[in-house]
Structure 1
Amino acid sequence: MPTLRTRVDVLSVLCGPDRRHGSEVAVVRDGRPYPDPRARQELAGRLGCPHTVFVDDPERGAVEVHRPGRGVEPDPHALIGAAWLLDLEILEVPALGDVFARHDGEFGWVTVLAGWAPPRVLRRYPDPEQVRALPAADAGERSYAWAWSDEAAGRVVGAERGSGAGPCGGPTGAGALLLAHHLQRALNVTEAPGAQILCAPGADGTIEIGGRVFLDPVRQLLLDRP
């Protein structure tokens, strides 16, 4: 009897133009063999990506996002990657409901409520080089450091700071999302050292957020089912 296997694809999401500096997202194409939170956390830890998306129904777009050691945590970049990979226009996400998505070539976007992102203090700096020079994380408040690189064009340099920023392993888009909502304007954000995030406010407190998605065929895995 052949061994049943589960396919896992690894994406880099919110990359820069050179496909570097994105955040890794693992997408488990069939999440049914991992029905409970403990099994999902164990697999997410083994895969070693900042976030793992479990696809429970690819036709409906039902997904659940896990962050190792933190449980269910549907950061924007994980949903962007999953919608792009599965070619879906709607994702069904626990606690969020329907999340609308679109994609165009290597770019993907989702539309979410600004209040969905975990709170951060927005810290403005006068010079983008000050933001780029900040360490990746510290033990202080959870904040989002930012500075205009071209205010007229809506270009920003940003960086996640504080508790929860360091272990994530790349951009999530949450800080950029909150900044776009605060400023109420479309932004083209470069997150040090080179990720790119696009944000645009919509109606009723929504923000469309997106960026490049890159599927590395070398990182495709086939796991024996439990």
Structure 2
Amino acid sequence: MTDLHVLRVFCAPGDTGGNRLGVILDGEQIPGEPDRQEVARELGFSETVFVDDLSDAVLDIYTPSTRLPFAGHPLVGTAWLLRREVHALELLRPAAGEVPTRQEGELSWISSQPSWATGRRTQQFGSAEEVDALPTPPLGEGWLYAWAWADEAAGEVRARGFPRRNDGIVEDEATGAAAITLTGELKRDLTIRQGIGSQILTRYLDPETVELGGRVVLDEVRRL
């Protein structure tokens, strides 16, 4: 038996919205990729994180169907949880490499190379209303990040994320890696409203560095 922390990551002001995330802080209790994949599949969250080393923040990330070397909302959420439950760390260590993290008021931030946020195609639409009207999911294959300017001058974006990988996640409520990809393409800071009520913040620092931030709340702790 082990504890599962269930978070919501990228909540809007007032703690509305947010993408659910499962985090198992004593990941060594569930060793091996097949068992971890089965746990992630049964939980059904967009991602589940297994922390293999609390002191060095070594992390293993799974969707219901695959293992990921990097993902945005799991890293933002796990950074917040480790700071709350263990101690503040300057680096997280997913399979992709070292990811800097920091806290700024109520916002948790990570820094990433846009090249790590692969596999998500962005598509611009003419208006936020067109994005809202898309079917769930749109026709086609592969990860689609549909977006439109809500206020281009202010850097405000309306977005929806569709994994389209047939693993039970029909629409992703808030997608950090896709937000990093879009920020790298547009080369500017963004405030993204995704899903039914989530808020993702990004800062474009240079072609190799995008910061990703948002609010995190703890929904529950349950026994597995």
Q: TM-score range by the shorter chain?
A: 0.7 to 0.9
Supply the distance in 2 between the matched residues of 1:32 and 1:99 (Cα, whole angstroms).
Answer: 21
User: Would you say 1:49 and 2:45 are equivalent positions?
Assistant: yes
Partners of 1:106 and 1:214 within 8 A in 2: no
Q: Is the 8 A contact 1:83 1:89 kept in 2?
A: no
In the alignment, structure 2 segments of 5+ residues that lack a partner are 84-88
Residues 1-226 of structure 1 correspond to what in structure 2 (within 5 A)? Answer: 5-72=1-68, 74-87=70-83, 88-94=89-95, 96-141=96-141, 142-161=143-162, 163-164=164-165, 166-167=169-170, 169-216=172-219, 219-223=220-224
Q: CA shift at 1:138, angstroms?
A: 2.5
Percent pairwise identity? 38
**Equivalent AA in structure 1 for residue 20 of structure 2:** E
Q: What is the DSSP-based 3-state SS (H/G/I as helix, E as strand, rest coil) of the residue aligned with 1:147?
A: strand
Q: Tell me the C-alpha RMSD between the 2 structures.
A: 1.9
Unaligned runs of 5+ in 1: none
Residues in 2 aligned to 1:90 and 1:162: alpha-carbon distance in whole angstroms: 28
Maintained 8 Å contact 2:162/2:170: no
Q: CA deviation at 1:153?
A: 1.0
Query: 1:168: Cα distance to partner?
Result: 5.5
Matched residue SS, 1:86:
helix
Paired position in structure 1 for 2:86: none
Deviates more, 1:54-63 or 1:158-167: 158-167
Q: CA deviation at 1:145?
A: 1.8
Choose 1 or 2 for highest CA Rg: 1
Deviation at 1:85, TM superposition (A): 0.5
Aligned residues: 216
Contact 1:13/1:214 (<8 A) preserved: yes
Cα offset for 1:158?
1.2
Give the SS at the match of 2:160: strand
CA distance in 1, matches of 2:199, 2:3: 28
Deviation string 1:12-60 (CA, Å, 9 cap, x unpaired) is: 0012223232111111010112110011112222333221110111111
Q: What amino acid is aligned across from residue 185 of structure 1 in structure 2?
A: R
* TM-score normalised to structure 1 length: 0.87
Which whole-Å CA distance do the structure 2 matches of 1:69 and 1:163 have between them?
A: 12
Q: Residues 20 and 194 of structure 1 are in contact (CA less than 8 Å); yes or no, is this contact kept in structure 2?
A: yes
Alpha-carbon distance in structure 2 between the residues aligned to 1:152 and 1:189: 13
Contact 1:84 1:108 in 2 (8 A): yes
**2:170 alignment partner, SS class:** helix
